């Protein structure tokens, strides 16, 4: 077995060259490659204009109400901002392309995104600007989890089946190298990215000290299965790499094969980086020896370009990005790019698509394995947060002791007190879930990144989150439930006790799913918290205790019947008063059968319009499970279909904004 150090003993270039040469010998051709073509690709967005006529009134209630009403009545002005104007080009395999710029259709090996919808994330990874990670996981744990989600140490069967076109020794060497590489790949990534010294350090965040900002960015790069020196990967492993940088250093700039120069949505240049200076010199712009090439290119199309003019005052040179783009579209370089983009796809690329890309599953792991991996990760994250665990245990214990001191050995003949104790218990289990909202919203960005990369399915993540909440729900039920049940003086009956504890667990578990759904569906915490509190108010108001069923208006009665708390309140009341001790004719010296023609327990239940049939307990359990399944399904739908990203202010050109406002 080859170790990570053994693979990298002679450096990354040698490692990549040796690996590619060994595998290509068994494949009988070059490694599978990916060519990206874009034809007349354009991106635009509708922007809402801020009003220039608004006045800053004093923040009184009247002014706030007036401003809100006027805002609802006024029609919003919007403009269309062109982010990318129609462009055509090709990103070739084995190349690195640098995209420079101020702060249609796309095909992959001849196939559209729709044709490769489920397979594409396995071959194209995106490393964003922001680094979202679980801060309590170490660097190695983060990379190891990413590796597990991509199959772990198991080499895909369709890859092994393709290694049969060399000699028997070449085929065996290729299999041996790949199996060894897959087994130690996280360690290889750690060493290649220079993270060996901090591999056991937690990633950290603003509240927890961890690795540095640069190291955290490297973790992000490695997590997306890049984990290699880009130039070496492009040369030897036939990767297609596109990087967006602002003001790269000269050494970094010269590492790239091609350069795409963007400005205001226009492509001013797309070609070899070594040819870029000569291309613009032909237009009349000279790059001084003291100026970096990247900075020189970025200044073109801006007022800063005047310092590079090498022609006389009477000469005509492009000034605007649109003028540079127009000249580029007339160049032979652009015409060659268009011919390549519109030309036939290489037969070898088509063969790579059918024999490799389309054979790769959308998810490397089965549903069961995905759930197992995510559950292990979730438990690790939860158990590392010791402060949260201790505070939650102390909160549960403290609230239980406070409640029992207020409701000590209540009289069962006072149903308003007995059911009130139940009401307070359920309220605690509901409200105690709200502090999870900030963590849910923070971790949602991590889910977006990993789901878009096909680490796991949405259902796997939601189920794993639910399972990770079971220990907390169990702990709260045992601690709080036992204190409330025995100290408050509920019926001494084994069946009633077990039923009580099960119902409390179901409440905690179901409302954990409810607040997870609220966090998944809300754009930010400012929306999630009010929505959560409003939902708590509704379930408490229509639970059958604050307002009994017979007093709820008919147009609100549906809120009572879909309210999980109402079902649990009913079930726990029946569970208490249908116990054998309360179903006798006489209780505490009073003959209920003789005076009221019913047992003591039935009498207390009917005071709150509760039924006396014990089947309602089973109905309540089934209803809570149905609620959990429904909320899990809704969470999956929301997380799969909707993406909330950070809000950013976008500037629309003044000319566009003025014209649009004048038209409206």
Please give the tally of structural domains in the chain: 2
**Residue 43 belongs to what domain range?**
31-54+86-125+239-359
Distances (CA, A) of 2 to 185, 406, 638: 11, 67, 44
For residue range 221-252, list pLDDT tens digits in order. Answer: 888 764 444 444 445 566 777 888 777 888 88
| DSSP H/E element including 85 | strand 78-91
Q: What is the pLDDT of residue 513?
A: 94
21 vs 122 pLDDT, higher one: 21
Assign residue 11 a region (left: φ > 0; alpha: ψ between -120 and 50; beta: otherwise).
left
307 in the same domain as 450: no
| Cβ 23 vs Cβ 180: under 8 Å | no
Position 385 pLDDT exceeds 90 = no
Establish if 220 belongs to a structural domain. no
For residue range 607-638, list pLDDT tens digits in order. Answer: 888 888 999 999 999 999 999 999 999 999 99
Position 158 pLDDT exceeds 80 = no
CA geometry: angle at 321 spanning 315 and 325, to 5°? 85
470 in the same domain as 342: no
For residue range 247-295, list pLDDT tens digits in order. Answer: 788 888 888 888 888 888 888 899 888 898 899 988 888 888 888 888 8
Position 661 pLDDT exceeds 60 = no
399 in the same domain as 331: no
93 vs 562 pLDDT, higher one: 562
DSSP string, 404-432: HHHSSS--TT-HHHHHHHHHHHHHHHHHT
Which of 330, 359, 388 finishes a domain?
359
Q: What is the pLDDT of residue 566?
A: 92
Establish if 204 belongs to a structural domain. no
Q: How far apart are CA 234 and CA 228, in angstroms?
A: 10
**Residue 101: both structure tokens together:** 């710029």
| Cβ 153 vs Cβ 460: under 8 Å | no
Buried b (16+ CB within 10 A) or exposed e, 349-383: beebbeebbeebeebbbeeebbbbbbbebbebbbe
Establish if 180 belongs to a structural domain. no
Confidence band of 664 (pLDDT split at 50, 70, 90): very low
Count helices and strands (H / E) in the chain: 29, 10
**Residue 377: both structure tokens together:** 């990760």
Helix, strand, or coil (residue 430): helix
Least confident of 170-179, 232-241, 502-511: 232-241
Q: Mean per-residue pLDDT for 414-437? A: 89
Q: What is the pLDDT of residue 73?
A: 66
480 in the same domain as 568: yes
Confidence band of 648 (pLDDT split at 50, 70, 90): very low
Position 72 pLDDT exceeds 70 = no
**Residue 96: both structure tokens together:** 């690195």
Q: Mean per-residue pLDDT for 149-160? A: 82
Q: Mean per-residue pLDDT for 290-308? A: 87
Average pLDDT of the chain, as a whole number: 82
381 in the same domain as 353: no
Establish if 467 belongs to a structural domain. yes
317 in the same domain as 435: no
6 vs 141 pLDDT, higher one: 141
> Which residues 6+ apart lie within 8 Å of 370 measured at CB?
149, 363, 456, 457, 460
389 in the same domain as 340: no
Q: What is the pLDDT of residue 515?
A: 95
Q: How far apart are CA 342 and CA 359, in angstroms?
A: 26
273 in the same domain as 256: yes
Least confident of 148-162, 192-206, 294-308: 148-162
360 vs 340 pLDDT, higher one: 340
604 in the same domain as 487: yes
Confidence band of 1 (pLDDT split at 50, 70, 90): low
Q: What is the pLDDT of residue 232?
A: 47
Q: Which of 325, 446, 468, 326 is nearest to 388 (CA)?
A: 468
Position 461 pLDDT exceeds 90 = yes
| Cβ 84 vs Cβ 264: under 8 Å | no
Q: Mean per-residue pLDDT for 345-372? A: 78
586 in the same domain as 550: yes
Least confident of 156-160, 219-223, 464-468, 505-509: 156-160
Q: Mean per-residue pLDDT for 435-441? A: 91
Could you give the percent of the chain with pLDDT greater than 90? 22
Q: How far apart are CA 587 and CA 409, in angstroms?
A: 17
Establish if 138 belongs to a structural domain. no
Q: What is the pLDDT of residue 234?
A: 47
Q: How far apart are CA 538 and CA 629, in angstroms?
A: 21
For residue range 25-46, list pLDDT tens digits in order. Answer: 777 777 777 778 777 777 776 6
Helix, strand, or coil (residue 76): coil
| Max avg pLDDT among 99-113, 292-306, 556-570 | 556-570
């Amino acid at each position: 077995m080859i170790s990570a150090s053994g693979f990298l003993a002679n450096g990354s270039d040698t490692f990549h060259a040796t690996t590619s040469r060994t595998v290509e010998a068994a494949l009988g051709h070059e490694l599978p490659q990916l060519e990206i073509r874009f034809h007349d690709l354009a991106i635009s967005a509708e922007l809402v204009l801020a009003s220039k006529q608004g006045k800053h009134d004093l923040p009184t209630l009247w002014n706030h109400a007036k401003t809100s009403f006027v805002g609802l009545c006024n029609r919003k002005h919007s403009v269309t901002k062109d982010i990318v104007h129609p462009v055509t080009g090709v990103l070739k395999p084995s190349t690195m392309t640098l995209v420079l710029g101020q702060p249609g259709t796309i095909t992959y090996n001849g196939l559209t995104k729709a044709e490769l919808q489920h397979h594409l994330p396995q071959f194209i990874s995106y490393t964003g600007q922001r680094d979202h990670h679980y801060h309590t996981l170490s660097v190695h744990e983060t990379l190891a989890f990413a590796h597990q989600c991509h199959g772990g140490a198991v080499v895909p069967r369709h890859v092994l089946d393709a290694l049969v076109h060399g000699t028997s020794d070449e085929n065996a060497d290729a299999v041996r190298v790949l199996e060894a590489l897959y087994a130690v790949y996280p360690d290889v990534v750690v060493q290649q990215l220079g993270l060996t010294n901090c591999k056991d350090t937690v990633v950290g965040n603003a509240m927890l000290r961890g690795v540095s900002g640069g190291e955290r960015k490297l973790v992000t790069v490695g997590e997306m299965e890049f984990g290699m020196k880009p130039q070496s990967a492009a040369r030897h492993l036939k990767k297609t790499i596109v990087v967006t940088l602002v003001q790269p250093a000269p050494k970094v700039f010269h590492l790239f094969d091609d350069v795409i120069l963007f400005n205001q949505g226009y492509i001013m240049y797309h070609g070899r980086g070594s040819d870029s200076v000569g291309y613009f010199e032909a237009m009349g712009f000279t790059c001084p020896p003291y100026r970096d090439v990247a900075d020189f290119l970025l200044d073109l199309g801006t007022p800063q370009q005047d310092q590079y003019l090498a022609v006389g005052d009477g000469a005509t040179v492009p000034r605007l990005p649109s003028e540079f783009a127009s000249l580029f579209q007339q160049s032979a370089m652009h015409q060659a790019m268009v011919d390549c983009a519109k030309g036939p796809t290489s037969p070898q690329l088509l063969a790579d698509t059918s024999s490799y890309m389309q054979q790769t599953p959308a998810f490397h792991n089965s549903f069961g394995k995905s759930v197992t991996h995510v559950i292990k990760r979730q438990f690790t994250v939860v158990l590392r947060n010791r402060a949260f665990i201790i505070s939650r245990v102390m909160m549960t214990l403290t609230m239980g002791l406070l409640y029992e001191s207020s409701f000590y050995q209540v009289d069962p003949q006072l149903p308003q007190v007995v059911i009130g104790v139940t009401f307070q218990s359920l309220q605690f289990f509901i409200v105690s879930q709200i502090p999870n909202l900030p963590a849910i919203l923070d971790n949602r960005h991590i889910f977006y990144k990993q789901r878009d990369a096909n680490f796991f399915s949405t259902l796997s993540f939601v189920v794993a989150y639910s399972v990770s909440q079971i220990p907390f729900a169990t702990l709260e039920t045992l601690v709080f439930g036992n204190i409330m049940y025995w100290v408050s003086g509920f019926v001494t009956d084994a069946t009633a006790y077990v039923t009580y504890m099960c119902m409390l667990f179901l409440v905690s578990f179901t409302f954990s799913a409810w607040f997870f759904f609220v966090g998944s569906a809300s754009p930010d915490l400012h929306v999630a918290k009010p929505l959560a509190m409003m939902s708590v108010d509704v379930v408490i108001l229509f639970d059958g205790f604050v307002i009994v069923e017979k007093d709820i208006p008919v147009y609100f009665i549906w809120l009572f019947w879909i309210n999980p708390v109402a079902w649990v309140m009913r079930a726990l009341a029946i569970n208490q008063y249908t116990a054998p001790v309360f179903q006798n004719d006489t209780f505490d010296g009073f003959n209920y059968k003789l005076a009221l023609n019913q047992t003591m327990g039935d009498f207390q239940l009917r005071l709150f319009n509760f039924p006396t049939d014990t089947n309602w307990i089973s109905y309540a359990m089934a209803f809570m499970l149905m609620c959990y399944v429904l909320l899990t399904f809704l969470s999956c739908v929301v997380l799969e279909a909707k993406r909330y990203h950070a809000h950013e202010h976008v500037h629309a050109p003044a000319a566009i904004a003025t014209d649009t406002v004048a038209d409206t």
